[in-house]
Amino acid sequence: MGPAFLRSRLVARFLGITLVIAGALVGVYAYFGVRESMPRQVQAVSPKVALPLPTPTSTNWGKSPSPTPMSTFSYATYAKVPHLGARIGTITLPTLGLSWPIYQGTTSTQLAKGVGHFIGSVLPGQNDNTVLSGHRTTVFNRLGELKRGQSVFIESSAGTFTYVIRSFRIVMRTDKTVIVHKDHGVLTLTTCYPFNNIGTTTRAFIVTADLVN
């Protein structure tokens, strides 16, 4: 075997190894894109488990006191509870020019199609905490651009509801204060943090908004 033949074999082997490594990297990225679902503080709590009382969180800014519930406030009613995987509405972030479908459930199947509704929380427009989650690399990758006082609209079979953003938080994904009960209509948006980061993370970005319509 001459030098030219040996060189060609070395080149072919190098190219083969490069292609294998590239394929592995693509596979890892796709795996984490599908695997990344709702932060652990939501996944770990069953609807049958009593939710804990709020405790101080690690990072907090732009927070204002919760509004006083109005006894005359008319909250939404639904004819039936949506089944897992059913589309229950649309969420619109007008300041970002974004609109996404909302599906019942927060498994990888629902989050691959849009925004997921945590089944342990109330439906949009109802009195209590409505928790929605989305991937930080897709639907919710621009949540960090939102500002306090901006509106979030949710349209469902029970009507169209307006929420006004009150606060932002960065918490550990094990922080269960994100899904506590509220004494008024609240919308909680959750996603992993930092945004557009490949791989796993221990933190979550939380947006809290109050129902005002």
**Tokens 């606060």, residue located:** 167
Residue 198 CA to its chain's centroid (Å): 16
My answer on whether 14 and 81 are in the same domain is: no
Query: Hey, what are 213's tokens?
Result: 């319509």
The per-residue pLDDT string of the chain (213 residues; one tens digit each, 9 = 90 and over) reads 555 555 566 555 655 565 555 555 444 444 444 334 444 444 433 232 232 333 333 334 344 444 444 445 689 999 999 999 999 999 999 999 999 999 999 999 999 999 999 999 999 999 999 999 999 989 999 999 999 999 999 999 999 999 999 999 999 988 888 999 999 999 999 999 998 777 788 899 999 999 998
My answer on whether 26 and 126 are in the same domain is: no
My answer on whether 58 and 117 are in the same domain is: yes
Torsion of CA 66, 67, 72, 76, to 10 degrees: -60
pTM of the complete model:
0.70
- CA 208 – CA 163 distance, rounded (Å): 9
My answer on whether 192 and 108 are in the same domain is: yes
Domain count, the chain: 2
pLDDT of 200 reads 83
pLDDT of 109 reads 95
| SS3 assignment, position 166 | strand
In the chain, the amino acid numbered 151 is S
My answer on whether 100 and 190 are in the same domain is: yes
Using a pLDDT cut of 70, give the percent of the chain over it: 66
In the chain, the amino acid numbered 27 is G
**Residue-range definition of the domain harbouring residue 134:** 38-67+75-211
Number of neighbours of residue 118 by Cβ within 10 angstroms: 23
Query: Hey, what are 147's tokens?
Result: 């500002």
My answer on whether 81 and 184 are in the same domain is: yes
- CA 144 – CA 135 distance, rounded (Å): 13
My answer on whether 7 and 93 are in the same domain is: no
My answer on whether 86 and 172 are in the same domain is: yes
The DSSP 8-state label assigned to residue 56 in this structure reads -
My answer on whether 155 and 205 are in the same domain is: yes
My answer on whether 117 and 195 are in the same domain is: yes
Torsion of CA 78, 80, 84, 86, to 10 degrees: -60
pLDDT of 92 reads 97
Give per-residue pLDDT as tens, 98-153.
Answer: 999 999 999 999 999 999 999 999 999 999 999 999 999 899 999 999 999 999 99
Q: Which of 51, 182, 180 is CA-nearest to residue 127?
A: 182
Q: What CATH number corresponds to the domain at position 192?
A: 2.40.260.10
The C-alpha angle 108, 176, 132, rounded to 5 degrees, equals 40
